Amino acid sequence: QQQVKQSPQSLIVQKGGISIINCAYENTAFDYFPWYQQFPGKGPALLIAIRPDVSEKKEGRFTISFNKSAKQFSLHIMDSQPGDSATYFCAASMSGSQGNLIFGKGTKLSVKP
Amino acid sequence: KAGVTQTPRYLIKTRGQQVTLSCSPISGHRSVSWYQQTPGQGLQFLFEYFSETQRNKGNFPGRFSGRQFSNSRSEMNVSTLELGDSALYLCASSLVGGGQIFGPGTRLTVL
């Protein structure tokens, strides 16, 4: 049972464009939703995270939008750059179990110059 | 501040052998989690330790085990290795309630 579904699997965006990655979850007990960026040969790096009490969180060019009723959240990368080309993972965890992240399958982003 | 360190970075073993991987968390982080990453299954949670106690365990066979020491360093062990255990094993540490910070991983190849 896949508890966190991520789409698309791959994404090609032109430099300067907006990259949008979507995730949907099933377990309403989830209350922490981070996004990670992973480059080849490296471990995932925490980008930004949100909790259900807010609908949007922005850090630099990265924004999380959260829709609690639809059980969906998304990552927007504004002004996408070739250096953003990486695999992005959404994840979710429950209160008291934040060390147990349930990950989506990942989105491979390619930003073309 | 030094990041999460994992040793060794690469490991080649044969079927039936056992392996021990080590993780040193960021100073002050008492929570350590382990994940397995494969192309087919993605990132899957193995177990979480806090103050030397296992708090959560993922859906992996008993061949996978771990422990945490009083200095928060953690080890995971896989016994009777199978070809399907070939993966990137990632360790992550965090403060209580904080986001998990991942190490670079240990690439295990089972021949």
Share of chain B above pLDDT 90, in %: 93
What would the pLDDT profile of A60-105 be if each residue is shown by its tens digit? 999 999 999 999 999 999 999 999 999 999 999 987 777 899 999 9
pLDDT averaged over consecutive 10-residue blocks of chain B (111 residues)? 92 97 96 96 95 93 97 97 98 89 97 96
What pLDDT does B85 receive? Answer: 98
Pick from A33, A6, A12, A32: which is nearest to A84 by CA?
A12
Chain A hits for B102, Cβ within 8 Å: 36, 43-46
Of the CA atoms within 13 Å of residue A11, those in its CB half-sphere come to 28
E-only strand ranges, chain A = 4-7, 10-14, 19-25, 30-38, 45-50, 56-59, 62-67, 72-77, 86-94, 102-103, 107-112
**How many CB contacts within 8 angstroms connect chain A with chain B?**
62
Chain A hits for B55, Cβ within 8 Å: 97, 99
Angle, vertex CA B73, rays to CA B68 and CA B77, nearest 5: 55
What pLDDT does B59 receive? Answer: 93
CA dist B76 and B96 (Å) reads 21
Contact check, Cβ <8 Å, A99/B101: no
What pLDDT does A1 receive? Answer: 55
What pLDDT does A98 receive? Answer: 77
* Min Cα separation B14/chain A (Å): 23
Please return the burial class of A25, using the count of CB atoms within 10 Å of its CB with bins 0-12, 13-18 and 19+: buried
What pLDDT does B62 receive? Answer: 96
